[in-house]
Structure 1
Amino acid sequence: MACFSAVEQYMYPTAYSLFFIIGFPANCLSLYVAWVLMKKGNNLAVYLINLSVGDLLVIAVVMFNSFYMGSGFLCCISVDRYLAIVFPLHFARVREVRTTVLLSVIIWLAVIVLHVSLFTYTETIWNFCASRMCEEPMIMTATAANVAITRAALGFLVPYGVIFLSNEIIRAERRKICRLLFSLLFTYLLAFMPFQVVMFIRGLLEPGNCSVTHNLRDYYMVFVAMTTINSVLDPILYCLISDSAKTEMKRLFKVCEEQFSKIYSSNQVKLSCFSPTSVRLEILLQLFLH
């Protein structure tokens, strides 16, 4: 690529001038808003602050490249949203502001180490001086090609995979939440709408009319009983739809089964100490337990 081509002469100055004019105030505003939110305890604001700082460095110092840093913080945001939606009652400590600050420091250190190693290897700092800025090697060596592939895999494919999977799981969980809400709404209507309809009809027609009272009494009693359906089905719906609830139920059943087995074993030992009639009692106990 020749020095002082049309790209270097016109495109770069125009593009970076626009980037600075629009990006600098926009990121300053974003930084201020994120700072206010962080002071209120919003953990995502910490990641937004770091993204804004990285973008400001890109705008102010062209040499700085925040590609890997941006990927890292976007991964953190995706995983945080995943934990908030899929496990809202778990990982609370992981989602604290203090933890997000620690993760941010780790990401910055990792990015700095990565950039220093890349600069040292590719001699980017030496090539970035004013007299050589327009020079770009046209042919990659085999080693440089391997480094480029590794950078693309670790710097783009892995973060993209994490973000994509997190978003897909979040969508699936949202669909599951929608099914839960629809089921709860259906249960609510099934339990309370018949009762409320009968009460509304009674309110309109019953005063001073004994025949209406007599005709609607059976329906009224049935629909009063149906109002308990909501209390019965709600916990079942929660347990059937929530994976964590299913896991806890399985764990509880396993504990109960172990305790039941211990009691059953102790009963067998006690029965073996009795007369021959204990054999019949043991058979009856087995039939009862199974």
Structure 2
Amino acid sequence: MTSLYDIIHSTLQTQDVVMKQQDIGVLRVSGLDAKKFLQGQTTCDLNKLSQTNGLYGAICSIKGRIISNFYLVQRNDDVLMLMTKDLVEKTLLHLKKYAVFFKAELINEQDNYAVYTKLSAKSAEVLAPEQATLFTVDQKNDIATLTISHEPLLVQWLISSQDNTAIAEKNQDLAPLAILNARPLINLEQSETILPQWLNMQSTAGISFTKGCYTGQEIVARMQYKGKSKKQLALVTWQGHIDTTKDIVDEQGKSVGQVFSSTQIKDTYYAQIILNVEPNEVEQLLLDNKEIILLPLPYALDSKK
């Protein structure tokens, strides 16, 4: 199986990447009860959110499907929810139904904040076990730096005011490599169609199974401990354009998955897919009658946490 390190180091070499994310928006939650309010609505444990530790999580429907998923960063007393821009308004309207019972205010800040992706082939230090479920945050002046992943490449999000001119973009054509961190955010079209485990969120610190109740918690927990679904996120690559709207099939032509998201660097394509089977159950994966190559994940898949 092709190494992610080989892909990253041969593509990035010694170059860093900085690119503004035009598709990421910010929903700000403020007020005395901001964390208490979100604790009852999200899959992650807000007790672990601080000025130096961010979170990855989701808001689910009563059926356990993801309405939106996001990264959380605390800025002073506010909580910033970073998600795909087309889900900010839907998430705000959903949360407003419950916010009336708390001292919390929801503000769509997508016109006031800018979010940049920074990539580096240089790995950061290994986290201690007790820190492994947290996303480190470094706050300096007007910029909050959220580390999304350390392996197989260092992926960071730089969050600043929209008018900040201190961040310079560079090597934007290499930014698609960020897809290899395999910690995706859904968009509006995918909203309420996917369970958190299908995106491996139980293995990427996106779900707490000890925090207590939240909307959809019963379904998410049942899927974790009693469910039989094999659906999981995987990474693949191929050369040249193919139709990503078609089903992924095995060597016998049986449908085994779909493309979740895809990107490209020159003629090389990378994609996150949702498989309906265990990867070792298939000998070959085909998309649009062309073989696609399975890549390793940058983390271990834990069945229970």
TM over 0.5, yes or no?
no
Q: What TM-score does the superposition give when structure 2 sets the normalisation length?
A: 0.19
Q: Which one has the largest radius of gyration?
A: 1
Q: TM-score, normalised by structure 1?
A: 0.20
Q: Which has the larger share of strand?
A: 2
Task: Answer 1 or 2: higher relative contact order, Cα 8 Å, separation at least 6.
Answer: 2
* Structure with more of its chain in helix, by fraction: 1
